[in-house]
Structure 1
Amino acid sequence: MTLIVPEYVLAQRAAKQKAEKDAEQKSLKDRMPQPTGWRILVMPYMGKEKTDGGVYVPDKVRERESRATVVAYVVKLGPLAYQDRDKFGDNDPWCKEGDWVCIGRYAGSRFNIEGGEVRIINDDEVIATIVDPDDVKNYGA
């Protein structure tokens, strides 16, 4: 028995397979969501795999702490981030790609991706920039 499939269905299937193949060839950063407008894509800090005393921290503990963390790495800025002169004046942006920042504990929308969780926050939800994420401790988390 032969199944007759319309040409447009075959074309859609071929286009989908091509898109999946193209996506696999891109880096993880290129495949991450692109923040729109005034939003910023950040990746919460996971913490060290091993303590200073040499004790390994289980992945589940690190993942749980990353969900409640206030420290994040700036991955991408939306095209309008820090462009609102009424809100930010003529000052330099509060952060840029590659910075470590402090954000509200429950700030932003959360997404799970291949590399872990990412958040999309508004540009005014950045509380501070920091040099080393280990300088900020999550007491009470």
Structure 2
Amino acid sequence: MATATKKKEATKIKLQPLGDRLVVQREESQERTEGGIYLPDSAKDKPTRGTVVSIGDGKLLDDGSRGAMQVKVGDVVLFTSYAGENIEIGDVEYVLMGESEVLAVLE
């Protein structure tokens, strides 16, 4: 009996973060090492890189205005493996984090 493998697909859900928060879609973890050894799910590290899919309005400043966000939708960012809050929508894993948790933007 053959089993069908499930492909991860993004759902049509709108997730709007508030303030200086952003939503990042994590990249897939490596299936095998550089030497060709296949990794089981329990041995895989969480990727610390992802693509920004949604951003908030920016931090509320003392004068009532909003500070501009330094990242934009579509940017590939680096962050620590413990950054933010992991959420799953459908089969896709996202990370909801503050802008201050982003370490760098890859160009």
**How far 1:52 sits from its partner (Å)?**
8.3
1:129 and 2:105 matched: yes
Q: Provide the residue aligned with 1:20 in structure 2.
A: none
Closer/same/farther in 2, CA of residues 39 and 47 from structure 1, 3 Å limit:
same
Give the RMSD, CA atoms, in angstroms: 3.2
**How far 1:70 sits from its partner (Å)?**
1.5
Determine which structure has the larger strand proportion and give its number: 2
Which structure carries more relative contact order (alpha carbon 8 Å, separation 6+)?
Answer: 2
Once the two structures are superposed, the pairs formed by residues 52-131 of structure 1 within 5 Å of their partners are 60=41, 64-66=44-46, 69-78=47-56, 80-81=57-58, 84=61, 93-131=69-107
| C-alpha distance in 1 between matches for 2:85 and 2:98 | 10
| C-alpha distance in 2 between matches for 1:104 and 1:120 | 13
CA contact (8 A) 2:33 2:39 kept: no
TM-score (norm 2): 0.64
Give percent identity, aligned residues only. 26
Determine which structure has the larger helix proportion and give its number: 1
Q: Which runs of 4+ in 1 moved over 2 A?
A: 47-53, 57-62, 80-86
| C-alpha distance in 2 between matches for 1:77 and 1:59 | 33
Count how many residue pairs are aligned between Structure 1 and Structure 2. Answer: 95
| C-alpha distance in 1 between matches for 2:86 and 2:93 | 7
Q: Provide the residue aligned with 1:139 in structure 2.
A: none
